[in-house]
Amino acid sequence: MPARLLLASVGTFLLCAVLHAADPAANENAYRFESGAQTWQVYDYNGGKAGGTSVFHPATWERTGGVEDSGYVWGDDSRWRIDTPEKPHSVLAFFTRRSYARQKPIDLRGAKVSVHLRGEKLDLKGGKCLFWVFSDELGTRWHLRAVPLEVPDGKWSDKQSFVLEEDEDRWHRSWARYPDKPGSLGDVLRTCDSYGLSFVGFDEEPTGRFAMDELIIEPQAK
């Protein structure tokens, strides 16, 4: 390659690297739902059958009606079911795996998260809405109990922002594939490949419709 062309190529590469580093959105994991549901699902523990297998129902995508009339996704009680092995019991109302989008596990220690939520006749039956993380490598799920999220009825919440602090006092561990060897919060955040929103602490199965828009995850620079 001629020296002049080589220098130009190197310069272009360095410029792109600088612009990428300067762009605050460059490392975002953004779910803005402008053109689809972006692999989000609603989790049904056993399909309504004792001993049945788990069912992952696609979240419904709407082209308009979201924050600033953008796209958004929703699920409802016809698709979710209580995950009884979890302690306490939970409903994984929104669920995704990074592998669905051919993405590798991500380090979420100290990550910033923001989201807008809305309910339509959503009754949590005394429960709370929480953000959760899961590592398939470690087979362990943790829910961020210190930050219960608001789900207004019939309107979008303001942007709700929080940090995934590596502090087990702010979380609860709900399930481990190997109960005698559960993954620590720090290790689950470090190797996270699945996350979403849950309902926890209810008296009976929550009912209604649950919607989400503009879920933005910003990992901390390492």
> 139 pLDDT exceeds 50?
yes
| Interval 54-113: pLDDT, tens | 999 999 999 999 999 999 999 999 999 999 999 999 999 999 999 999 999 999 999 999
Q: For the chain, give the mean pLDDT.
A: 90
Domains in the chain: boundaries: 1-26, 32-218
With 70 as the cut, is the pLDDT of residue 170 above it?
A: yes
Mean per-residue pLDDT, 128-147: 98
Q: What is the pLDDT of residue 21?
A: 36
Q: How confident is the model at residue 28 (pLDDT cuts 50, 70, 90)?
A: low
On the question of pLDDT at 146 being above 70, the answer is: yes
Query: In CATH, what number does 32-218 get?
Result: 2.60.120.260
Question: Could you tell me the pLDDT band of residue 136, with boundaries at 50, 70 and 90?
Answer: very high
Q: Does pLDDT of 13 surpass 60?
A: no
DSSP for the chain, written as a single string: --HHHHHHHHHHHHHHHHHHHH-TTTT-EEE--SSS-TT-EEEESSTTSTTPPPEEEEPEEESSSSGGG--EEEEETTT---BTTSSS-EEEEEEEEGGGGT---B--TT-EEEEEEEEEEEE-TT-EEEEEEEETTTTEEEE-TTSPBP--BSSPPPPEEEE--S-GGG-EEEEESSTTSPPPHHHHHHTB-EEEEEEES-SS--EEEEEEEEEEEEPPP-
Closest CA to 145 of 206, 198, 97: 198
Closest CA to 195 of 60, 103, 127: 103
pLDDT of residue 17: 34
Give the lowest-confidence range in 17-31, 45-59, 122-136, 153-167: 17-31
Residue 20: its pLDDT value, please?
Answer: 34
The stretch 197-219 carries a mean pLDDT of 98
